[in-house]
Amino acid sequence: MLYNKYLDTFIKVADSGSFNKAATEMFITPSAVIKQIKALEEDVGTLLFKRSHHGLELTESGKSLYYDARLLIDSATKAVERAQALTGESDNVMRIGVSPTTPADVLTNLYPVIYKAWPHLKFQMIPFENTPKNASEILQNLGQDIDIVGGVFDEVLLKYRKCNGLKLYREPLQVAISMHHRLAGKTSVSIEDLYGETILLLSTGKMKNMDLLRIYLNESHPQIKIEDFDFYDMSVFNKCESTGKLLVTTGTWSRAHPLLRTISVEWPFEIPYGLLYSTSPSHKVKRFLHIIQKSL
């Protein structure tokens, strides 16, 4: 860092006119933003913001610092990027965790936006075996060996996995079926088409959206049997293929098993898909997420 890191926060607050909005953009808490601004004001020796009915506004000193800070940050960022492009520093490498149920396909669509904003950024794919133990350790320690993992999530998963998530879009919940199943020729089915079938569904308390689907099926469509499982890994995809049972899944996992087909169901259930990252993201990760967030 070639400048006071709190200048980044200062610019965000000035542009948004709000501590809360700046916190959202920076993926930190509002209290952390306020603390950083106070520390910067102490370093500078003057107030930088004043409150008005429009929100936060820059003082005259703040306006002066804002102009100079933007020039300084831009110059410093370009200087660091030039240096890192020559030395191959890790700050220009984003480490993406990949597995059959956490593919990195989403980067294909995001890459043009990322490249335009950060042309020197490189991606390193870090394969891992998606077991319950690995998933817990990797997600709780994002930022150490892996920076980002793409996947489905909701607030329940984020809480017990102790990580944060940036939602990119919502995935409809679908069903995976064996290519030999009676419904394999369809691209979409009704709820009634599933009567008499057994659906493999994530056990209660793991994801809110899955729990809502469970309640809906139990209350409105008891003709469909539910069988619990605890974790999305290859064993559950294999079970779906070998037993002829249906598996609640998403389009993201459509290539997880070559002998399964993913079909739509006429029900209103979706789940967020996005990027999972540390609760204390590095400057590199925050910059990466900010680029993506601006494109959404």
Region 278-293 average pLDDT: 93
Residue 228 or 26, more confident: 228
pLDDT at 83: 65
User: Over 70: is that where the pLDDT of 165 sits?
Assistant: yes
pTM, whole model, 2 decimals? Answer: 0.70
CA 121 → CA 70, 91, 128, 194, distances in Å? 22, 8, 22, 46
pLDDT at 81: 63
Region 101-110 average pLDDT: 86
Pairwise CA distance, residues 73 & 53, whole Å: 30
Q: What are the tens digits of pLDDT across the range 186-210?
A: 999 999 999 999 999 999 999 999 9
Look up residue 188 and give its two tokens.
Answer: 């979409």
CATH of domain 6-87: 1.10.10.10
Pairwise CA distance, residues 34 & 112, whole Å: 34
Q: Where residue 228 falls among pLDDT bands split at 50, 70, 90?
A: very high
pLDDT at 190: 97
* Beta strands 164-172 and 49-52, pairing class: unpaired
pLDDT at 3: 67
- The reply to whether domains 6-87 and 174-268 share a CATH topology is no
For domain 174-268, the CATH class is alpha beta
- Is residue 201 packed enough to be buried (19+ CB in 10 Å), middle (13-18) or exposed (0-12)? buried
pLDDT at 82: 65
Q: What are the tens digits of pLDDT across the range 206-215?
A: 999 999 999 9
278 and 163 in contact (C-beta within 8 Å)?
Answer: yes
Pairwise CA distance, residues 112 & 105, whole Å: 13
Q: What are the tens digits of pLDDT across the range 128-164?
A: 888 888 888 889 899 988 999 999 999 999 998 999 9
Spell out the domain ranges in the chain.
6-87, 90-170, 174-268
Look up residue 165 and give its two tokens.
Answer: 């998530």
Name 52's Cβ contacts closer than 8 Å, sequence gap at least 6.
none
Tokens 């952390």 locate to 32
Q: What are the tens digits of pLDDT across the range 2-49?
A: 667 788 899 999 988 899 988 888 888 889 899 999 999 998 999 999
Q: What are the tens digits of pLDDT across the range 40-97?
A: 999 899 999 998 777 789 999 999 998 888 888 877 777 766 665 555 556 789 999 9
Region 168-180 average pLDDT: 96
136 and 231 in contact (C-beta within 8 Å)?
Answer: no
**Mean pLDDT score of the chain:** 90
